Structure 1
Amino acid sequence: MADIADFANDLVQERIDQALAARSAAKPILEAASFLFCEGCDAPIPEARRLAIPGCTQCVTCQSIDESREARHAR
């Protein structure tokens, strides 16, 4: 059975959650800058890819290779 301490704890947790949500909402969203050149092969990253995936650091080919390696190691 819940007692007064449990209710107080729930109230405090609710206030903490509200404060954290308000703080997160107030933070400006920083968009990551994309690389102009691939960090894997130094090839230029096309502008369309940089606009579609903000913060990208690799060309499509190198990204595909990395994802293949990760999928193989995840097994």
Structure 2
Amino acid sequence: MNKLLFFAGLKEIINADYLEMDLIGKTVREAKAELLTTYSDLPLNSVMTAINEEFALDDDIIEKNDIIAFIPPVSGG
């Protein structure tokens, strides 16, 4: 099982701080696609993804007990 963390406006879209899903063996890209089947309004094409607090690429593989974070772009001044 994996814990998925969402930040800023993303957690408002899913109406939770995190989700738990079994994504073991899937790529980050596949995880995003699976999320979009339920939460089609998540802007996952513009977010940064981290696995266990390290930035990840879409081809990175998710392993057992990994924590995946989705971080939207930050703006400000």
TM class by smaller structure: under 0.3
Q: What's the TM-score once normalised by structure 2's chain length?
A: 0.21
Bigger CA radius of gyration: 1
Q: What's the TM-score once normalised by structure 1's chain length?
A: 0.21
Higher helix share: 1
Higher strand share: 2
1 or 2 for the larger relative contact order (CA 8 Å, sep ≥6)? Answer: 2
